[in-house]
Amino acid sequence: MKLKIAVLAGDGIGPEISRQGVAVTEAVAKRFGHEVEFEHAICGAHAIDVVGDPFPPETLAVCQRADAVLFSAVGDPKYDNNPTSPVRPEQGLLAMRSQLGLFANVRPISTYASLLHLSPLRAELLEGADFVCIRELTGGMYFGERGRTNDRAFDTCVYTRPEIERILRVGFETAMSRQRHLTVVDKANILDSSRLWRQIAQEMEPQYPEVRVDYMFVDYASMRMIAEPRYFDVIVTENTFGDILTDEAACISGSMGLLPSASLGTGTPLFEPVHGSWPQAAGQNIANPVAQILCVAMLFEHFGLAEEGRAVREAVAQSIEQGIRTPDIQKPGGPHYGTTQVGEWIVDFILKN
């Protein structure tokens, strides 16, 4: 297969983990006989510094002519600490999702037996936890009408029936491919937008009679996710709730550095780690590249290349099992491996197995 991949390294630790993602992609292509072409583009704070736009038209064009986007992270403290800044790195991420039509963010949550001790939760709660969060990406408060004065601010949550139907369909279809259990998360006891979500979900249930559907208010779901993570199979929810819940779910795996995601829709699919840019660690060779590398597995699987995805996942699992880990997940007293060393070990494993 021939694949053209847009590479958006972004800010902070982005360039470091991006290099490992690219190297792993090249290793998989070499092992399985694929042809991969990369085209790099700027985004986030880096793009603001260069051209004044966190997602410039040139970057959009690179993404549109690619088969997939391998994205890393955006964000910079000089914008985080300036609430009056009119242009922010995260605006580039929102623009990317909107302009590429990426309405569904898919985040798998699972555990590694040798890392259960890293979670603040008890191991007996975590063992066997394996679920997927599906978050709507282009509607809700993040894209609604907003405004702010010195004394008043507002953000409007708006959803339409087509927006809700298409993301719920992703939820139902994903549940059909797994354990056929779908949990719809909303706040229908308070919010009209959530009541519309629940109404439409109930209307769609008869189309998927094999799927067991339940409904949870977001506050209860956030508690249940921590108290009983094994309960869930597929969760589907709106933009803001999904943003919060998926970050909360990171404590199940023990580190945000382990969690990949895919953003899917009508345009070029995008694969990104769920963590941020961690600018304090930039250039120190300590960032965990595993989430970025697992994005590569999801990328290949998206194109029906399941064996290639398994090869990446097996290499990651073996690196963790054999203690080839960055400091965030290393055993106490264990040897130090940096971002580059972990990536190189995984590449070597893929090529030799």
Catalytic residues: 142, 187, 219, 243, 247
267: CB partners within 8 A, 6+ apart: 63, 64, 99, 100, 101, 102
Determine how many CB atoms are found less than 10 A away from the CB of residue 74. 30
Distant-in-sequence contacts of 199-207, Cβ < 8 A, 24+ apart: 200/161, 200/164, 200/165, 200/168, 201/164, 201/168, 204/165, 204/168, 204/169, 204/172, 207/172
Query: What is d(CA 293, CA 307) in angstroms, rounded to the nearest whole number?
Result: 15
Q: Do residues 56 and 339 make contact, with C-beta atoms less than 8 angstroms apart? A: no
Buried b (16+ CB within 10 A) or exposed e, 205-218: beebeebebebbbb
Q: Which residues pair with 106 in a beta bridge?
A: 134, 262
Residues 132 and 107: their CA atoms lie apart, in Å, by 6
Please give the Cα distance from 221 to 131 (Å, whole number): 13
CA–CA distance, 131 with 249 (Å, rounded to integer): 10
List the structure tokens of 352. 């030799």
DSSP 8-state secondary structure symbol assigned to residue 338: -
Report phi then psi at 132, rounded to 5.
-125, 130
**Tokens found for residue 43:** 């985004």
| CA 261 vs CA 50, 58, 99, 171: distances in Å | 28, 24, 19, 15
The alpha carbon dihedral of 242, 248, 252, 256 has a sign of positive
Query: C-alpha 58: how far from its chain's center?
Result: 24
Burial call 290-325: b when 16+ CB within 10 Å, e when fewer? bbbbbbbbbbbbbeebeebbebbbebbeebbeeebb
